[in-house]
Structure 1
Amino acid sequence: MPQRFAIYYAPAATDHLWERAAVWLGRDPSTGLPYDGAVAGIDRARLLNLTQSAGRYGFHATLKPPMALAPGQDEEGLREAMQRAAAELEPVPLGKLVIADIDGFLALVPERAENAALQDFAASVVEIFEPFRAPLSPRDRAARASHGLTPRQEELLDAYGYPYVFDEFRFHMTLTDRLAEEDRSALLQAAQTWFAPVLEEELTLDRLTLFHEKENKLPFSRMADFPLGRGRE
């Protein structure tokens, strides 16, 4: 599989939320440094086992999901396009975050569920960067369709390579993999304890962040940040 790029939102690498999430997931994608030791009463081996996928992708909210680049596109062009788009897009206030259970995995989501500006922003990012996306291979499409999609989600998967865009988009920052019932209560309590100091702070989606998967199944790296609204200063 070729290398993949993803356009995410992630807090600044100096932000307390990013730092807490990196420790929770056991790795900082901006530096590559691992973290050891228990977190909020959960030993590291158990936590790593229950956050394997979340840790590999890194702490983020998906805007344009991981994609191989289309023929004729390259990383330099993608970076330039992100710079241009970020200059024109406005930051989006998200308010406070809360920990939620989404189909069995824990994630941080906005306390205020309805946010038209956020939905419009996410849809714009999907559309702007669609020319950079290579079509899904039959194998990749089958993998993404294996989770029981609705007809609308199937339609979006075929059109945009991902089922959770536009009206199906929900902003979330994943904290765990899908949890068994016997793990859910302990992980929820630990996450609430660990993230409590930053959940009183209001968050603003203020940047596009480029993540990179060098080879299939390798951890994603945080490559570059593109602050929003600079073109209107």
Structure 2
Amino acid sequence: MSYTRFAIYYVPPEGQLADFGATWLGWDCVQGAETRLRDVPGLHDITMTPRKYGFHGTLKPPFRLAEGRDQAGLMAAASVLADRLHPTTCEGLELNALGRFLALTPYGAMAALRHLAERCVIDLDPFRAPATVAELERRRKSGLSARQDALLIQWGYPYVMEEFRFHLTLTGQLPADDVPAWQDTIKSHLPHLPQPFTIDQIALCGERADGRFEVIQRYTLTG
């Protein structure tokens, strides 16, 4: 399989949370296959944006391979990175509104999780091709702070380092008036959320020719 971009995600292990995410979004990034959406009116439309990525939490945002780099080298580097990283634990997950989209976010001590994400961004950055002018302009349309713009230039994405907030996306942008109702709907479908919430593996994912992401390989954190 040839991939246009790569990313490092947290993808929940097999279980109720992973099953919920796949059937809520309609795409199973582990199997690389569509799933039957839950029977919820309007669900197809509000999940169109996150569907292509599958149910995940971003650790290193999607990037194109730099010149002279290849997938085999990236996989080897991800393995080395995982051997150096410790598993991280937060108190749990909860449903929150981040602006006008809904996601599961962790709560409790965050320092170790932020460190994990930073190492993924920094250590694998030699494999990232620089952002194009078009990519920079597209990101800037959302309105970035000076610091976010600096992060965009340095790392190809504005929401890394101290701007990072881990989340597992469940919707695209919603009309503000619809957010409370969708919160209630999601709560009625959620499985028991993990308490504590532990990340003990990372996943190298690739963007296929059809624009959808799938897991290439998981790596257990053994540092």
Q: C-alpha displacement at 1:130, in angstroms?
A: 0.7
Question: Structure 1's 175 and 37: CA in aligned 2 closer, same or farther, altered over 3 A?
Answer: closer
Distance 2:37 2:198 in 1: 30
Distance 1:56 1:37 in 2: 14
2:75 corresponds to 1:82: no
2:182 corresponds to 1:187: yes
Q: C-alpha displacement at 1:72, in angstroms?
A: 0.9
After superposing on structure 2, the runs of 4+ consecutive aligned residues of structure 1 that deviate more than 6 Å are none
Distance 1:225 1:57 in 2: 16
After superposition, give the CA deviation of every residue in 1:8-39 in whole Å (9 maximum; x if it has no partner).
11111x12211111111011111133233544
Correspondence for 1:34: 34
Amino acid paired to 1:77: G
Correspondence for 1:227: 220
Residue 203 of structure 2 contacts residue 216 of structure 2 at CA under 8 Å; is this kept in 1? yes
Correspondence for 1:175: 170
Amino acid paired to 2:23: V
SS state at 1:57 partner: coil
Question: Structure 1's 31 and 77: CA in aligned 2 closer, same or farther, altered over 3 A?
Answer: same
Distance 1:7 1:38 in 2: 27
Q: C-alpha displacement at 1:77, in angstroms?
A: 0.4
Correspondence for 1:218: 211
2:8 corresponds to 1:7: yes
Correspondence for 1:120: 115
Q: C-alpha displacement at 1:59, in angstroms?
A: 1.0
SS state at 2:147 partner: helix
The count of residues paired between Structure 1 and Structure 2 equals 221
Residue 63 of structure 2 contacts residue 128 of structure 2 at CA under 8 Å; is this kept in 1? yes
Distance 1:162 1:84 in 2: 23
After superposition, give the CA deviation of every residue in 1:40-74 in whole Å (9 maximum; x if it has no partner).
xx23xx21110111111111111110000001111
Correspondence for 2:156: 161
Distance 2:149 2:117 in 1: 19
Which moved further from structure 2: 217-226 or 71-80? 217-226
* Unmatched runs of 5 consecutive residues or more in structure 2: none
After superposition, give the CA deviation of every residue in 1:66-115 in whole Å (9 maximum; x if it has no partner).
00000111100000001111011000002210001001100100122x41
Which moved further from structure 2: 30-39 or 46-55? 30-39
After TM superposition, the score normalised by the length of structure 2 is 0.94
2:61 corresponds to 1:65: yes
Correspondence for 2:199: 205
SS state at 1:179 partner: coil
After TM superposition, the score normalised by the length of structure 1 is 0.90
Amino acid paired to 1:18: A
Amino acid paired to 1:54: P
SS state at 2:9 partner: strand
Q: 1:43-62 residue pairs with structure 2 within 5 A?
A: 43=41, 46-62=42-58
Amino acid paired to 1:96: G
Residue 57 of structure 2 contacts residue 167 of structure 2 at CA under 8 Å; is this kept in 1? yes
* Unmatched runs of 5 consecutive residues or more in structure 1: none
Amino acid paired to 1:57: Y
Distance 2:37 2:63 in 1: 33
Question: Structure 1's 11 and 37: CA in aligned 2 closer, same or farther, altered over 3 A?
Answer: closer
Give aligned-pair identity as a percent: 37
Amino acid paired to 1:146: K
